[in-house]
Structures are given as C-alpha cells and as structure tokens.
Structure 1
Amino acid sequence: MTTNLMKSIPVIVAGALGRMGAEVIKAVHASKSCHLVGAIETAKEKEGNDVGLELGLEALELPLTTDFEGCLCAISQSSSSSGTGSSPVLVDFTHPSVVYEHTRAAIAYGIHPVIGTTGLSSEEINDLIEFSEKASIGGAIIPNFSVGMVLLQQAAAAAARFYDHVELTELHHNMKADAPSGTCIKTAEFLEELGKDFNHPQIEENESLVGSRGGLRESGLRIHSVRLPGLVAHQEVLFGAEGETYTLRHDTIDRSAYMPGVLLVIRKVESLGGVVYGLERIL
C-alpha cells in the first residue's frame, strides 16, 4: 500500500447506482483525500459488475455487491487487521425503509456513517446518536449537503423572530420516496427552536379536499410537498405580515452541488465523538 493510499479515507457507498450514489462514486474517485473500497447496490442483476464501468467511468476494479453487512464486515476486518490509515466511512443514499438498520450496522462494525438518506424519525435519530456515543464512533446524518441550504435555514430562523406567519414548501423529483423531505423538516426544526407558535388561525378553516392546506406540525407550521419530474430539490420559506411577504428560496439545479459537502463530511467524521444531525454541526 502506498503512503498516499494509507493517508486516504476508505469509502463505501450504499446506493451506488442511484442518482446521489453515482455522484458520490464520481466525487470520491476524483478526490485526493479518499478512495472507494465498497459499492453496494440492490440490483441483483448488477452483482459483480465493475462499478466504474456501470457509471461510465474507467474500470475501477471494484465489483458491485448486494451483500450490505458482508461488505461492511469485510472492510471492517481489513481495516482492523492493517492497523494503519484512516477508518472507513459509509456514505448511504438508499431508502427510508432500510436507513436506520444501515446506520446502526455501520456503527456496530466500527465504520463511520455519513447518511444522506432522509426519512429517519426523531426517535430513530436520537437512538442512533446515543448508540454512536456509547460506541465512540463519529457519524453524521445530513438531510441536505448544500451549504446554500444551511444558509437558507439560518436566514429563516433569524426571520422567524419577527414573523408569526410562515409556511414551507419543498419540491422534489417524483422518485423521492418520503414526504415531506428531511431537509424541510430540519428547516421547520430551526424555526421551532425559538419556542413560539406560528400561524394562529384568524378564521375557522374548512378543507374541501383533505390535505390541501399541507401538513400541520404542533408548532402551527405547515409544510407542502410537491413531486414532479424535472425537479431536483427546491425549498421555499414564505413569511407573511400585514402589508408584506418575505420569501427565502433555494434551488438545486444539479446534484453535483452536494458533493463538496459530502467530501467535507467524509473528511471530518472520524474526529466526531458520535453521530451529529445537520451539516451546520460540521461547517
């Protein structure tokens, strides 16, 4: 093993052929600070195929596998036996139905989880934080890897001090499995940290179509979700007051916008004492 490779961070990508997973593979391959050691995908017909060739890159001599735990176990054992270099990192962009088990398994194998899959409940996030702290394994659950989105969330939290009426809308492609998005939930949580209630009703509302006013949180915040082909990821926070509105919006045009944030978290996650929630905890 060369000195450069020993200093480089070994990365496993789960959801390797998905929209985000493919971007992560390309970013890791191009990076000087990390290198790819595992590519996990659920498509059994792709088992054993070279992940680089599947994504239109050069041959990376790394076969795709559908065996999630087997891959983690092998890389964990390899890392432990070598005793040198950086600890391995799992980057997960898979599905809400499996992300909790994936994260917990990574921690159990001593692999640092970097989770971009949304859909975890508050209870699951808290459980993973507690489990990781007991295991002393740093990790990160990041609803959105965009620095611009972090700036929007901070601006929204600042504006919420002065506005009592606000609604949130998130727009994504129609292949997104969960609604509302984890990013939009995180934005709502930023606003709710003020400890105030929002949108006190002025009249008795009646929905002739159930859900037309959006999802209602305990704080009074409403979240609207849009799913359409052609969209990537977009969020709007609309404040209203007497005689004015104030709008904050962030648009992701291409998934490559997330990659600087992904690589930043990969580089920093080993130094954390447990799992953190949100990119703002790492920036």
Structure 2
Amino acid sequence: MSTYAQSESFLVSGYGDSEKTARVDAKQQLALQIFSRVKVNESSHLKKEGNNVVSLYEQQSTIESLPIEIQSLNVKTTDCSQTPCRYEFTVDKTPWIKKLILEIQNSHSHSLVGIERDSQNWSDLKLLFESKKWLEKNEEKLMVLSALDASEFNHYATIQMNLEQQLANKEAQIAITFRSGVDPFSSKVKGVLSNTAIASSNGDFNIYIKGDSRYGQKGNEFVAKQNISLKVFDAFNPGVVISQKDFSQVATSKESSAQALERAQNIILKTLSQESIFTLLN
C-alpha cells in the first residue's frame, strides 16, 4: 500500500489515445498503488507421452485492486511524442479526504441505530444486522483513507473498532431456536442453520422450517422442485408469525427424479450455508 500523506496533492500518470482513456488508466494505476492483491492459482496434472508419464505444473496470477472512487483528477501535462500519449494528472487530496470522512461518519451514524437498540424483538435484530452492513461498507473507505491521511485514519479506525466490538457483544446475546417439520429435508436445513453461534435450544425467537417437494418429467428429463419455508415466531407469543421467507429451487436430471431433487436441495443448502439468517429473512 502506498501513502500520500506528506502533501496536499500528488501526481499520477495515465496512458491513452485520448484524455478520457488516459484518465481511466491513471485511476486504475492509482487504485493499484493504494491497494493491490495478488491471487495465484496453481494446478498440476500428469500426462502420458508414449511410455513415459510427465508431470505438468501451471501457475496463473492476477492482480486485483479495490473499486476506489477517485476524486479531483486534473490534467497537468500531456506528452504525445510517443504512442500512446502520456497524461500527467494532479490529484487533490483535500476534497477526496473530506468525502471519505463524510461517508465514514454517515456509516457510523447509521450503524449506531441498530447497536443502541435493545434487540428484544425481531425488528431490532434486523436493524442490528443493518448496522453490521454499514460497518462493512467502511472497510474499503478506511483503507483508502489510511493512504491519504494517517491521522484521520487512526481517528476513524478507532471509532470503527469500538463500534465493531459493541456489535459483536450484541450479537453474542442473540439466541434463536430452530425447529423442523417431519420431512427429511427440513431436518437437513435445521442442521445447517443450527450450526451457528446464534442457535440455542431455548432462544428468544423460534424459526420453524417446513419443506415439500414435487416431481415431474419434461421430455426425456426428470424434473424436481424443492420448497422450503422459514417462519419466525416470537418465543413469548408462539402463535404469531413475525417474519417468513420461502425458497424454491427446480433442477433436472436425465437419470432419475431422486437425482433431480438432490440437486435442487443442494443448491438451497448452499445458499443457506453462505448467508446469515438475517440476510435470508430480510
């Protein structure tokens, strides 16, 4: 990561046949200077050549940067003595820093709404999850700010850490009980959702899971549809549904309806395992 904290502005170069394309190139180069991440994919396999077995190894690397919104990029010089032209841009840090700080402050303000609630009802929990998303939005902004102004970064990073700790403390108090219907797939879903920190045998909220499946055939393919319903009940008022989300997935198979159903179920299970319960029910 580069830092530009010693001056109010700095220079960045971009190449292109026009100012527009050079500006895009300059922004890409600046984004890579502020933050870059190298991803390496490695693979190896055996290949038979005649009577010999040869081991082949391949490595591919890519460089990624953050999707940084760069402010105040102004042309200073242009040199077209060679192709493509070289444009030199001045980047004014001041408005960029001000905009980042304003956005970070806004996220902190929104995150406090959920953090300061009592989390005694489902709407409070949804607000708490929104708080988490607001704080996550700040991560990239803080990374950019650290390259532009170390002092401001330290100030807002400290606030961010305090809010994240408060959020973690609130999340640790959440307890949800998962119950399933008699169908086998509901039990599988319960197993996935129960494997989280918020799962409890005596939670403040109950989530009832019910599934059903249907079969059919289209041409020479078997078709299966899996439905799953998640219903949230208040533990103190178990007869009232306070939130509900239904999921459906269709899959096909040339082999059997059972295989088609298994494929549909696996897609749903993957979705449920990758998202938080608040995302799923939002």
TM-score band (shorter)?
A: under 0.3
- Report the TM-score when normalising by structure 1: 0.25
- Report the TM-score when normalising by structure 2: 0.25
Larger radius of gyration: 2
Which protein is richer in helix relative to its size? 2
Give the structure, 1 or 2, with the largest relative contact order (CA under 8 Å, sep 6 or more). 1
